[in-house]
Amino acid sequence: MIQAKQELLQALEAVLAQMAPGAGLSSAFESPKVAAHGDLAITAAMPLARTLKKNPRELAQALVAQLRDQPAVQRWVQDIEIAGPGFVNLRLKPTAKQAVVAEVLRDTRTFGCRPARTERVLVEFVSANPTGPLHVGHARQAALGDCICNLFEAQGWQVTREFYYNDAGVQIATLAASTQARLRGLAPGDAGWPEAAYNGDYIADIAAAYRARATVQADDRSFTASGDIDDLDDIRQFAVAYLRREQDLDLQAFGVRFDHYFLESSLYVSGRVEAAVKRLVEGGDTYEKDGALWLRSTDYGDDKDRVMRKSAPAGADPSSLDGAQYTYFVPDVAYHIQKFERGFHKVINVQGSDHHGTVARVRAGLQAARLGIPQAFPDYLLHKMVTVMRGGQEVKISKRAGSYVTLRDLIDWTSRDAVRFFLISRKADTEFVFDVDLALKANDENPVFYVQYAHARICSVLAQWNKGLEAADLSLLTAPTEQALMLKLADYPEMLARAAADLAPHDLAFYLRDLSAAFHSYYAAERFLVDDEALARARMALLAATRQVLRNALQLLGVSAPESMAREVAPLPEEAA
């Protein structure tokens, strides 16, 4: 069916070019809102009517007349109808739908993927400060970012996963002071406990390891503690390394990897921050006011000008490398100049919605640098926070973290699969409630179970068949539920391309739920191991193709595709009906 849709798109493009030369109308199909109306819908008559200033229904009639003369339409389309103000609905021949089964079985793991290309993309995500365990917001970032990377890889891009962390500044000093206080026998609430200290139990764990002169090995560093409770710098370095290792373990448990770790401190040590500031000043878009250095970011679409360098306290050394004199967006500008200079002209940042204000100012700084960086560089996917519910109550505090629920908590309470699927199952810019009890249910209310159960059911049926699928007569697949399932399989490649282009990994979760629903309906409506071996073989081929697409899509989500479900299964609605 992929070939059929491609040929039909080419036919539609040719007809639109004839009807409105030079208008640049794009050829595209949509899915009819009501399945009974057809298999593919064309909405081109409406924009064509605006271009030609004609009645859209009359244009739809002319469009249909020309389409009928196209060889691809004659080959693949059974019927064409006009509906409403000018919608054109196509009903495909059974052979067009049946072809997708052979296409999936031929391509297996690469079905829906595109060939390798030369374009490179850098995806930065999680980017947690090394001051505590990863919280549920980081978990959502990890799920979204990793899935986006997988989607771009499926589209042939060369993908680099990057983790940026702030290893300099006030919060790192607070981490060191908190650990030192624990080493001196203080605890939260004691007299002398630092007012801004981190209160989680993990600080006590760091202190105990430091006192024991432990060595910690993270992905990007190794450090051995001296055990000297008066050496604050040694404590700081050990605490950062300890938490980097803890974050590594959390990410490994979540099945997320990174190709590169980038340190904020390196931007100061290498002189990149100072170089970026110098470039902006020389570009003429900065000015001094009240002892501070400002960027005229309103010239680039920001709602107000931004302070780059704060007024220095009396006697302060303005050449200090600790970054205290610069506002947060300045190292961000230097970092993104560095990304661009590394050859990444497609960059995606997955961050929390609290970063919304940084988008305009970072892009303004990059434009003011006058390096030829595109105006929309970088791309942003901003996500809203996650509320965790358990036992009907909101969970706000983790004993380990002290003030928030961690990624490890979610995995321990449910499973990696559940956390991955749930955190991608809604649009990133919508708030999400993670219901722990729902994630443990073994019924159709639980979306990850519903999808995995579809895969396991198919594995069970195919194991009973235990015969080859060679020479399957796909023309026998004519039942309505078979037609619906094959149409959904054929949607997979376009869905992948759209999800990558729109930075919409939730589309993959939606698709999996829809594909599983189509399969479960088929399972409830038809028998597979029938006496007619030719029909049984054709149905086994369809099941094998469905299993393959389920497996492919789950892999992109980072979710397993089990061949059996150990938990007791409640009847699904399709069976109850």
**Top-level class of domain 2-92:** alpha beta
Mean confidence (pLDDT) of the chain: 91
pTM for this one? Answer: 0.89
* Residue 49 pLDDT class (50, 70, 90 cuts): confident
DSSP string, 261-320: EEEHHHHHHTTHHHHHHHHHHHHT-EEEETTEEEE-GGGGT-SS-EEEEPPPPTT--TT-
CA distances from 154 to 550, 551, 562 (A): 15, 14, 22
Q: Which CATH superfamily is domain 270-382 in?
A: HUPs (3.40.50.620)
Q: Which CATH superfamily is domain 447-576 in?
A: Isoleucyl-tRNA Synthetase; Domain 1 (1.10.730.10)
Lowest mean pLDDT among 31-40, 77-86, 230-239, 373-382: 31-40
In the chain, what percentage of residues exceed pLDDT 90?
Answer: 77
Per-domain boundaries in the chain: 2-92, 128-163+170-263+384-440, 270-382, 447-576
Same fold, 128-163+170-263+384-440 and 270-382: yes
* Residue 192 pLDDT class (50, 70, 90 cuts): very high
Chain Cα centroid distance, residue 512: 15
**Top-level class of domain 128-163+170-263+384-440:** alpha beta
pLDDT tens digit sequence for 492-503: 999 999 999 999
Q: Does the pLDDT at position 538 exceed 90? A: yes
Average pLDDT over residues 239-245: 94
pLDDT tens digit sequence for 2-40: 888 889 999 999 998 888 887 777 778 888 877 778 889
Running DSSP on this structure, what letter comes out for residue 394?
A: E
Q: Does the pLDDT at position 576 exceed 60? A: no
Token output for 295: 């960027």
pLDDT at 153: 98
Query: Which of residues 315 and 335 earns the better pLDDT score?
Result: 335
Q: Does the pLDDT at position 571 exceed 70? A: no
CA distances from 85 to 19, 47, 49, 561 (A): 18, 12, 11, 44
Instruction: Tell me the H-state helices in 429-532.
Output: 436-439, 447-465, 480-490, 492-501, 506-525
The count of residues in the chain is 577
Token output for 496: 């992948």
- The most confident of the ranges 55-59, 103-107, 315-319 is 103-107
pLDDT tens digit sequence for 114-161: 999 999 999 999 999 888 889 999 999 999 999 999 999 999 999 999
